[in-house]
Amino acid sequence: MTESQPDAPGAPASRRSRREAAAADKATSASVAGAAASSRAGRNLPAAIVVGLALLAAVLGGLFVWPLGFVIIATAAGVLGVWEVFRALQTRRITIPIVPVLVGAIAIPFSAFLGGQEAQLFALLAASAAVLLWQSLETAVGAVANVVGGVFVLLWIPFFVGFSVLPLHDSGVAPPPLGLWPGLAVPHSVLQLVLTLLLVFANDTFGYIVGASWGRHPMAPKISPKKSWEGFAGSVAGAMVIGVLGTVFLLGRPWWVGIVLAVAMVGAATAGDLAESMVKRELGIKDMSSILPGHGGMMDRLDSILFGVPVAYVVFNLLPVTG
């Protein structure tokens, strides 16, 4: 039996070698294309969309099926966000009093849910005082930075999270501990919150897709190089569509309310995204954590919501109900 000899130099390639070369070229092209898509987006786009849809489904399911569950989900997200920021601040030797901050992260949203705006503000003040008292019992080294950082985290995360549960308190209907709303009638204020969350999702998704595909002009290159004006335009367009449809068919309000709300939400959500990017840039980190595939940390998902929900709450209270 004779052994197969390698192709002589200059001889035509064998059929097998041609197939292997073609397969290698195809794999290389796919790898390059995938890397290019990932570099344009800066994230794993399919994973980001799947995770975003799953989170949105869980939140909306809580609002319709188990209102108290929504409060628990929102509070848990805030607590996780607080922990991520606490760990990130430690990279700059800022150690906020984590115990009173975590207690405040739980107390502030539940105070808003049970007692409304006044209770929410009181819980914020009490938690801030607890941060100062706790730090006074610890070391004086870095005390100012630790206290300021702790109050900043309370304002940024749990206080803003509280605005997401205020509509449940403002509904005037006592939400059931378990199950659907009485008479299957979801209060109007809760439907407003549903539209708010849909607008945040539309802002992030359309901005992400358009920016990853056609983004060429950075919006804030020193803070968030991958956020582009093209992506911002995609966010505005997508949010306007969702806003008009939501205000007309979900809330029964004039179409122009959806336009106003969409513009306000995109502005607020973009500001929240840039604010978190500024903090991460200052701390020298890319993501707050890696708990959410395609997003990074919980704060990388909450950044636009934290600014968007309070703005939507104000806009809904300022705009006329009819007309």
Model confidence pLDDT, tens digit, residues 208-259: 888 888 878 888 888 887 888 898 999 999 999 999 999 999 999 999 999 9
Confidence of residue 42 (pLDDT cuts 50, 70, 90): low
Mean pLDDT of the region 143-149? 94
pLDDT given at position 187: 86
Three-state secondary structure call for residue 290? coil
| Cα torsion 169, 151, 128, 314: sign | negative
Residue bearing the bigger pLDDT, 111 or 55: 111
Residue bearing the bigger pLDDT, 38 or 211: 211
* Nearest-angstrom CA–CA distance, 119 and 114: 8
Look at residues 322, 11, 38, 69 and name the one whose alpha carbon lies nearest to residue 208.
Answer: 38
Q: Where are the domains of the chain?
A: 67-178, 185-323
Query: DSSP H helical segments within the chain, as ranges?
Result: 15-41, 45-65, 67-89, 98-115, 117-136, 143-154, 160-170, 188-214, 229-245, 255-283, 298-318
Q: What is the pTM of this model?
A: 0.80
The total of other beta-carbon atoms located within 10 Å of residue 177's CB is 9
Query: DSSP H helical segments within 215-290, as ranges?
Result: 229-245, 255-283
| Cα torsion 133, 157, 118, 62: sign | negative
Residue 32 has pLDDT above 50, yes or no: no
End-to-end Cα separation, the chain, in angstroms:
93
In this structure, of 7-21, 114-128, 218-232, 278-292, the range with the lowest mean pLDDT score is: 7-21
